[in-house]
Structure 1
Amino acid sequence: MKKGRIQLITPSSIIYSVLAYVANPGNNTVSIIDTETNLMIYNILVRSIPYRLAITPDGRRIFVANYGDLTISVIDTIAHAVTATIFTEGDPSGLAITPDGSRIFVANEDNNTISVIDIATNTVIATVYVGTTPNEVAITPDGKCTYVTNADSDNVSVINTNTNTVISTISVGYKPSGVAITPDGNHAYVTNKFSDNVSVINTAINTVISTIFVGYKPSGIAITPDGNHAYVTNLGSNNISVINTATNTVTATVSVGDAPSGIAITPDGTHVYVTNEFSDNVSVINTATNTVTSTIDIGSNSFPVRILIKNGM
């Protein structure tokens, strides 16, 4: 079973409670968690092996990469139902939506490309060739650049989102996996799974300026809304490394479940949600104390992969 990431994305309009969405490759569903009660409240059936998710800025639609059948399911978050299916150009892995909500960039692991999808029409409008086995995708807050981790070429491709062309290729560690960009857009943090470290890229010059050693097999990464800390899931050591982004040093380590992969932070920055693949549950971490305050059972022999946070309707 593939291992994945967690990401929390905040829509532009706050209405009621915050909801978490978890992709479950084990039973082809997306689970919904109410973060006020930390209870799973709903399951949505999608297609084969849902792997990762992305949410539009307005919080109305979720795009689910179905690794098993080369499709993307589009979920209406009000109806809690799949309303469209998009056929991709390869095995879809990571995906990210531009800040204006107009396009989605999808990594196709098997053919080393990125598909650019027009969200208004749910059609592929461009194909960008990147490195070998593209894995995760992140877009800068200004929407100008997309960063792609290429797991089997040990580098990161930088795509100009206006021209859909690769403008830079950055060597990082061994088997880059997750990527997250600071809220100010100045730095990209990349987890290198087989180097046990995180590369910090200065996005102005697209150069690695720091390397931070963390736990065993770092996978997912998320950055707090204030940009002060990065949280890293260490898949092989069953814990989370907390990085101070001012000093690029690990300041805390939090034990969680078995094989943590995905990670996300609530819009107010108070809690971190971590999917533990081999425990079939989600750990909730209080960022003030860096302690686990709740564990949510996903069940159904599923492997929760990624969490998205949106505001409830």
Structure 2
Amino acid sequence: MSTVERIKKTIYYVSNLGNKTITVIDGEKNTIIRTINLPYKPFRISAHKNGDIYVGSDKSPIAIVCNPNDEIKTLDIPNNGNLEIDAVNGRIYISNTSEVLVYDIFTERKIARLVGFMVIESLKLDSHGKNLVVLDSLRKDLKIYDTSNFKLLTRIKDVGVKPSYILINDNSKFIYVANQGGKAKNSASISTIDIEKKEVFQIELPTNSSITSLALKDNILYGANRGLNRVEIINITTNTLEGFIATTLPEPQNILLTSNKDKLLVTDRNCGGQGTLDIIDTVTNSIVNTILIEEINSQPYDITMVLNEALIENENAIDSTNIEEKKDEIELSPIIVKKIFSSYEENISLSKVIADIPKTYREPFTFQKITIHNGFIVNRTEIREKIKDRPNFSKVKFTLRIPYNIEFRDGKRKKKSIKRFVEKNKEVTLCMPDSIETSELKLVVKTRSKTRKAPVLIKDVFCFSLDILMEIKVVGEVEALVHLNEL
């Protein structure tokens, strides 16, 4: 029996600065399909609805990777790597440091030129293609233009310190600006801007943060934090940090939500030029897949995606009358497996830990070594509370205990040891699906601890500082069906 099926296929495109390539990835299978070579470094990339990929560069040309044969066309347009595709009006907006050039996609002719900038760091269109927002990083301001006549609608000053990236929310009422500077040294922030009121509110970030890209799903704002090697999770309703997701490699560069916002794509790389694409489940806020960009010195940077549809004739389709017969031929067996629903990481610093030596031991004492064990949640200290305005998330309070023991020699040169522990009261926000009873979900805690320096001995007291990486996994049991021959 022959049928015609409509097949949807998602393709990811990743620009690589190091080797001047674009990596093409099958978004369904999470595998690399091919690599496209370019004559210059590809910076920002943007997809047209017809599947063509437009590439900004550090040189004069704009490249177009034509769908479906990957033919490379070039437009001799000066640019500094930033561009935006306006699929609604059939235009391309290109920044050239101090000006914005507007071209018709189909005729490839210039139709407008916007001037009066110093250094354009980022430009974005709203979801309807009605307004263009341009960020001038030196003037620290935003300009909003009407795309029907290219007239300036409004200007918002003092949007932040070292602003580098902008994002417009879906209803075009708010703009979010990533700032690579803040009030204090080595600080950073995200500005929330009410467009109508021209009000700017700052969300302060942890020390040494450097936000390079933003993405928004409902009331959760994601920020690629290159400074701290992670993706920040920010609640824009309360303007508070709710956690973060550590990336596979340090230095996350850019992030992109898929069309249905169920996945967050993250390009990240290390100092050696190796790169990956992390795929994050936005329900659990955990990495579910990582694709290694295997080319040497790839340095992944930007990412875009294309949704292709095709009609395929299936000559091997099964007649519906035989479905029950086919089911009977497949023997499945249920098994219980453990599933990680979400994960959370946090760095904890304890600047002053003190351990007394019992009075029964004789001085002088000589430090030998310290052993720090895995932490755990103290029994009967865990309290869970569902968050009313955020489905599938709960606040969890508990006491974290980390045991350690110190070995030393006493005045008679005999080996001695003392066992102690440190405790820290914690409150974290975790993804805990509402469809599962919270009593059936367990928190699995793992800690990696190290002292900044060897403990200092002052008479009969050891003093030291402790840095702790705490990792929490929300684990539950689920039923899965497998073929009997796989058991």
Deviation at 1:101, TM superposition (A): 4.4
- 2:147 matched to which residue of 1? 161
Gaps of 5+ in 1: 1-13
> After alignment, is 132-141 or 153-162 more displaced?
153-162
Aligned to 2:88, the other structure's residue is in SS state coil
| Distance (whole Å) between structure 2 residues aligned to residue 15 and residue 71 of structure 1 | 35
Structure 1 position 185 matched with structure 2 position 185? no
- SS, match of residue 301 in structure 2: coil
Q: Contact between 1:177 and 1:193, CA under 8 Å: does it hold in 2?
A: yes
**Inter-partner Cα distance in structure 2 for 1:231 and 1:155:** 22
Residue among 233, 237, 240 paired with 1:246: 237
Alignment correspondent of 2:276: 281
1:131 aligns with 2:139: no
Report the Cα distance in structure 2 between the residues aligned to 1:121 and 1:189, rounded to whole angstroms. Answer: 33
Computing the radius of gyration over CA atoms, which structure comes out larger, 1 or 2? 2
1:88 aligns with 2:69: no
CA distance in 1, matches of 2:302, 2:89: 20
Closer, same or farther: CA 40–101 of 1 in aligned 2, 3 Å: farther
* Structure-to-structure mapping, 1:1-313, within 5 angstroms: 16-56=8-48, 58-67=49-58, 69-82=59-72, 84-89=73-78, 91-109=79-97, 112-170=98-156, 171-195=158-182, 196-205=188-197, 207-215=198-206, 216-224=209-217, 227-256=218-247, 257-278=249-270, 279-300=274-295, 301-313=297-309
Which portions of structure 1, spanning 4 or more consecutive aligned residues, are displaced by more than 4 angstroms?
none
Instruction: Please tell me the root mean square deviation across aligned C-alpha atoms, in Å.
Output: 1.9
Within 2, Cα distance between the matches of 1:30 and 1:166?
35
- More displaced, 233-242 or 117-126? 117-126
Task: Measure how far apart 1:197 and its partner are.
Answer: 1.0
Higher relative contact order (CA 8 A, sep 6+): 1
Give the residue type in structure 1 aligned to 2:30: N
Structure 1 residue 96: Cα displacement: 1.2
TM-score, scaled relative to structure 1: 0.87
Distance 1:44 1:202, change over 3 A: same
Contact 2:279–2:287 under 8 Å retained in 1: yes
Q: Which amino acid aligns with 1:31?
A: T
Aligned 8 A contact 1:44 1:81 in 2: no
- Paired residues in the alignment total 291
The DSSP-based 3-state class of the residue aligned with 1:16 is: strand
Answer 1 or 2: which has greater strand percent.
Answer: 2
Partner SS for 2:8: coil
Q: Which blocks of at least 5 consecutive residues in structure 2 are unaligned?
A: 1-5, 183-187, 310-487
TM-score (norm 2): 0.57
